[in-house]
Amino acid sequence: MASIHKALVVFFAVAAALLRGGHAHGEDHAASVHDVTEYGAAPSNRDNRDAFLAAWRAACGSTAGNSTLVFPKGTFAVGAVQFEGPCANGDAPAVVIYGVLQPPCAGGGGCHLSDDAWITFSGLNNLLVTGNGTLDGQGHRSGKSKSKTTTLVFEDVTNSTLRGLAFVNSRGFHVNLRRCTRVVAEGLGIHAPAASRNTDGVHVGHSRHVRILDSVIGTGDDCVSVGPGSVDVVVSGVTCGPGHGLSVGSLGKDEGEQDVRGLVIRNCTVKGTTNGVRIKTWPGSPRSRASNITFEDIAMANVTNPIIIDQRYCPHNRCSDADKVTPPQAATRTNVPSRIA
Ligand SMILES: *[C@@H]1O[C@H](CO)[C@@H](O)[C@H](O)[C@H]1NC(C)=O
Ligand SMILES: *[C@@H]1O[C@H](CO)[C@@H](O)[C@H](O)[C@H]1NC(C)=O
Ligand SMILES: *[C@@H]1O[C@H](CO)[C@@H](O)[C@H](O)[C@H]1NC(C)=O
Ligand SMILES: *[C@@H]1O[C@H](CO)[C@@H](O)[C@H](O)[C@H]1NC(C)=O
Ligand SMILES: *[C@@H]1O[C@H](CO)[C@@H](O)[C@H](O)[C@H]1NC(C)=O
Ligand SMILES: *[C@@H]1O[C@H](CO)[C@@H](O)[C@H](O)[C@H]1NC(C)=O
């Protein structure tokens, strides 16, 4: 796994260098590279939020086109921050992260983040977030605050790519794609301790035409989880473990949830996890439908439940109606993996 990760990092270092080269050769493109340190950001334990937002406003507000927001090498602290669109010319800048971003943990107390998101990109089209940098949630230092903060959220983002970054020790989900259309997440390395709760690798919800490709994910929860309202999602070339495997759900927690339709999970490897491929619904859940789901060409080793459809999903046994079973409409067609090793 280490060698795959290293190979990916090298690959994306080259890709990022090419991206920068492309800008350098264009006419007057140097002017549209916005390095956060030019806006007052500095590698330190001080919250760099205001400087990051100033650099974002410049990059997103640029009408020159093809602008790039750069986070250089160094470890930068930042509290919860939201990079919002729309941008001046309709397309988001490219965001290249070479450094390490961390919540401002030094000086006590500052480590608390809300239960929602740490870094959010919202309302954007044609966004590229890439680089060989790391988003480090410092989950192991969140102490008594116990917030389940998602490290990176894409919300209302279209035609976009998340590529090559490393994610470590999130406090909650590492990546959450919500209300997105046509988003590719690829070449990610995601790592958190096996004992860390709710640290899903990539979660997809209320999103269409999503591709999660060629990534290595080991956490304390689901490797990839596909929630309500997901349509046309492909997961391929993903290596999972440790954690809870590749999951659809959990579904049926709330009334009126949107269906899950058209999910393909193929060419993945799952090692040292509690589950392989799973569909999970809460007991006695209101009706919703999960259909046209294909699991294909999944290699598994040291997996407790390789294939599991759990209609009484009830983590930590907090359900009052745990005996009720969701009617079988919950899963209408499940193709069994063709290869299980
Ligand atoms: C990321 O890439 C830059 C140059 O593109 C390189 O200087 C740096 O060492 C790389 N960082 C890591 C963590 O590989
Ligand atoms: C942005 O870059 C692309 C590809 O390099 C180029 O085709 C396009 O014309 C550029 N757009 C602007 C506004 O410079
Ligand atoms: C996103 O891409 C699709 C297909 O290429 C295109 O039809 C659509 O207009 C794009 N959306 C935006 C907001 O540019
Ligand atoms: C399967 O996934 C691996 C990464 O685990 C990738 O290198 C390979 O190209 C993929 N093969 C196909 C046929 O997609
Ligand atoms: C099933 O899902 C796949 C992948 O999204 C899609 O290409 C296909 O058209 C769907 N089939 C039906 C019958 O909906
Ligand atoms: C199997 O996976 C568990 C984690 O689920 C791990 O602790 C154990 O070392 C693994 N065993 C082998 C033989 O790989």
pLDDT value for 23: 37
| 304 Cβ closer than 6 Å to some ligand 6 atom | no
What's the 87 CA to ligand 2 centre distance in angstroms? 16
Cβ of 132 less than 6 Å from ligand 1 = yes
**Distance (Å, rounded) from C-alpha 115 to C-alpha 278?**
26
Say yes or no: CB of residue 193 within 6 Å of ligand 6.
no
From the CA of 231, which ligand is nearest?
5
Cα dihedral 163/165/167/173 (nearest 10) = -20
Ligand 6 pocket residue status of 137, Cβ below 6 Å: no
Q: Which residues line ligand 4 (CB under 6 A)?
A: 214, 236-237, 239, 267
Residues (pLDDT < 70) of the chain are 1-31, 106-110, 142-146, 320-341
Do residues 313 and 335 touch, judged by C-beta distance below 8 A? no
Minimal CA–CA distance to 118: which of 143, 145, 137, 95? 137
Q: Which atom of ligand 1 is nearest to the CA of 16?
A: 5
Give, using CA atoms, the residue closest to atom 6 of ligand 4.
Answer: 237
Report the 3 state secondary structure along the chain. CHHHHHHHHHHHHHHHHHHHHHHHHCCCCHHHEEEHHHHCCCCCCCCCHHHHHHHHHHHHHCCCCCCEEEECCCEEECCCEEEECCCCCCCCCEEEECCEEECCCCCCCCCCCCCCEEEEEEEEECCEEECCCEEECCHHHCHHHCCCCEEEEEEEEEEEEEECCEEECCCCCCEEEECCEEEEEECCEEECCCCCCCCCCEEEECCEEEEEECCEEECCCCCEEECCCCEEEEEECCEECCECCEEEEEECCCCCCCCEEEEEEEEEEEEEEEEEEEEEECCCCCCCCEEEEEEEEEEEEEEEEEEEEECCCCHHHCCCCCCCCCCHHHECCEECCCCCC
Q: Give residue 40's region: left, alpha or beta (phi > 0; psi -120 to 50).
A: left
Q: What pLDDT score does 21 carry?
A: 37
From 73, 75, 165, the mutation candidate for ligand 1 (largest count of ligand atoms within 8 A of CB) is 73
pLDDT value at residue 100? 98
Distance 89 CA to ligand 1 centre (A): 30
CA of 231 to the centre of ligand 5 (A): 9
The closest ligand to the CA of 236 turns out to be: 4
Q: Which residues are catalytic?
A: 244
Neighbour tally for 203: CB within 10 Å: 23
Q: Domain coordinates of the chain in residue numbers? A: 2-340
Q: What ligand 3 atom has the least distance to the C-alpha of 126?
A: 14
Ligand nearest to the CA of 96: 1
Tokens of 197: 């709760």
Domain 2-340, CATH homologous superfamily name and number:
Single-stranded right-handed beta-helix, Pectin lyase-like (2.160.20.10)
Interatomic CA distance for residues 185 and 243, integer angstroms: 19
Q: How far is the CA of 332 from the centre of ligand 6 (A)?
A: 33
Residue with CA closest to ligand 4 atom 8: 237
Protein residue whose Cα sits closest to atom 4 of ligand 3: 159
